[in-house]
Amino acid sequence: MRTAAVPLTHLEANVRVCPVKRNAPRAWFMNGMAPFSFFNAVGSDPVYLVVSVGVRDGGAPKDTATNIRRNREFVVNLVTEELLAAMNVSAADFPPNLGELDAAGLHAAPSARISAPRLAEAQVSMECRLFESLPLGENTLFVGEVVMFHVADHLLGPRLRINHFAPVGRMRSPSMYCRTTDRFELGRISYPEWRKRREGD
């Protein structure tokens, strides 16, 4: 997919390319190739995001956590509807000699600022360097500083606004998903406006 590498200084502070909430857009994390929904944006200057990685059933660390600790970098690739079937395949517990990329029919592409590859088919990818990690029970919370965005050309509008981006969200484990195409705007009200309305009642 043709994408533009967008330096962070050119993005608006509220990071419109990554509207992640708990009905979180599903994403692949590379190093490794694992889909996660326990992630979110937590900062804007600089841009940080977090991902919570659990352990395997026997208590061993997942490959994603091992790779992030070892390489101190990773790429977040957001999942859109045309990639949903491939994402579902990549979630299987493949043996070490069979890579998820090949099994899902996907391809790696070079990143701009880190050595970990990004997903060529993803409409939005975020290159991250590990900032901090924090144990939380059986999970580990990884904080990554986003050092580069890759955004599909057709999503970029004037002033680098992101238009018509519709990542798939997971509502609950293991298999309930949602689309993010039904959306609306609600203008934020100021205190003077609220007071004026209140006095007019």
Whichever domain contains 179, its CATH number is: 2.30.110.10
Query: Do the Cβ atoms of 50 and 38 come closer than 8 Å?
Result: no
**pTM for this entry:** 0.81
- 47-87 pLDDT, tens per residue? 999 999 989 888 888 888 999 999 999 999 999 999 999 99
User: What is the domain range of residue 120?
Assistant: 3-200
- The answer on pLDDT for 10 being more than 50 is no
State the Cα–Cα distance between residues 201 and 196, nearest whole angstrom: 9
Domain count, the chain: 1
- How far does Cα 164 stand from its chain's mean position? 16
CA angle 154-32-123, nearest 5°?
5
- 26-41 pLDDT, tens per residue? 677 766 677 888 888 8
DSSP string, 3-47: EEEE-GGGS-TT-TT----SSPBPEEEETTTEEE--EEEEEETTE
Where is average pLDDT lowest: 19-23, 33-37, 84-88, 108-112? 19-23
Q: Could you tell me if residue 160 is left (phi over 0), alpha (psi between -120 and 50 degrees) or otherwise beta?
A: left
